[in-house]
A and B are shown apart, each in its own frame.
Chain A
C-alpha cells in the first residue's frame, strides 16, 4: 500500500474519531446558523442590490418567513442528527437545506470570498458515507471521512499562504497587512502590540510559515502538533485582528487531537 492509500484509508481509531468529527461538525453548523452571519438582511436588501432574484431558490428571499423556516429547519435537522437513530435521514436533509442556504447567500453577493463552504463540503461527505455504513466499503469510507477533511484543511492553509506569496510576494512578510488591519479593526491589545516594530513582521512571517507547513505536517502524520499549532495561530490572529475562524477551530480537536490521531501501524 503506497503513501497516498495509507493516508486516505488507514487512519487510526477511525470509529471514535469519526463520531467526534460528526458531532463537532453538527454542533458547529447549528451554532453557525443561529449566531453566525445569516440574518434576514438579505431578504430586506437583495432587491436594492440586484434587479431581480438571481438565485435558483429565490423564493427564500421573497419573505423573511420563508428564510427563517429554511434556516431553522436546517438547525432542527442537524440537531436530530446528533442522535444515531435519526442520523442518516436528518443529516442528509440538513445538508440539503444547508446547500440551499449557503447557495442563496453566495448568490446574494457573489464575491471572491466564500470561506465557509468547508462546512457544506464536509456535510456532503458525511451524508454520503452514512449511506454506505453497511456496505463492504464501510472501512474505506470511514477512514476517508476523516482523511479527506484533514487533507482539505491542509490544502486550505497551503492556499492561504500561497495566495499571499502570489499576490504580494515576499513583501507580505513586512507585516503591513497585519499592521493596518489591526490598527483599524483589531483589538486594543493588538493595537498596543503593533506599536513594537518587530511585531508585525514577526506575526506575518510566522503566519506564512505556519500556513505553508500545515500540509507537510499533516502528510507526515504529526496530527496533534498540527492541531495545537493551528489553534495557537488562530488565537494569535484573534488577539491582533479580532478574526476568530472559530468554525474551523471547532473541528480541530476531533480531527487532530482527540482519540488516537495518526495512521494505523504498517503491517509486515
Chain B
C-alpha cells in the first residue's frame, strides 16, 4: 500500500505535466492551460449583434448568451455555425432567441450573468459577427479601435 501511494501521485503528476507540455487534455486529466496564449494586437473577436423589437441593436459578448463555462461558449457557436447544416443553424438560432426572450437562464456560470432584453422589448434576430480590434495605439491613447468584421451567421429578418 505504502509503495502504491508513492508511485501513484508520481505517475499522476508526470501525466499532468506531460499534458501541459503537449498542450493536450485527456479527461479527467487536465493541462491547465489557462490564458496561456498572447492574443495579437490586431485581431477579431466574436460578438452577437442583437436586433431588438424597439428597432435598436445591442452588441453582447458570446460569453453572455449560453449557460456554460464562458470560455466554452464560442466553441458551441463555432460547431453550430461553421460545421452544422443550414437547418440546424436555424433551429439553434430560434432556440437562442427564445431562451433570451424567456429569460430561461439566470447566470451562464457562477459569475457571468446572461443577457436578457430590457422590459417590454424582445430579441427579434441577431448577427454573429467578428469585430475587428486594434490595440496598437493603446499605449498612447488608451483607446482600442473596433470595427465590424465578417458576419459568420445572421438570422432572417422577421
Question: Residues of A at under 8 Å CB distance from B?
Answer: 4-5, 8-9, 31-32, 35-37, 39, 41-42, 44-45, 48-49, 102-103, 106, 109-118, 120-121, 137, 140-141, 144, 148, 151-152, 155-160, 162-164, 166-168, 171-172, 174, 176-181, 183-185, 195, 197, 242-244, 246
Contact = CB atoms under 8 A, between A and B. Distances in A.
Interface in B8-53: 9, 12-13, 16-17, 19-21, 23-25, 27-39, 41, 45
Given A115-B34, A140-B5, A179-B138, A49 B84 contact: yes
Given A9-B5, A195-B142, 4 more contacts: A159-B16, A163-B31, A176-B135, A180-B135
B30 A183 contact: no
B37 A180 contact: no
Contacts, number: 171
Contact of A4 (B6, B61, B92): B6
Ranked 5 nearest A-B pairs via Cβ: A117-B28, A39-B67, A37-B109, A159-B32, A163-B33
Given A41-B66, A151-B13, A162-B20, A113 B25 contact: yes
B64 to A, nearest CB: 9
Given A41-B66, A115-B32, A140 B23 contact: no
Contact of B25 (A5, A9, A112): A112
B5 A8 contact: yes
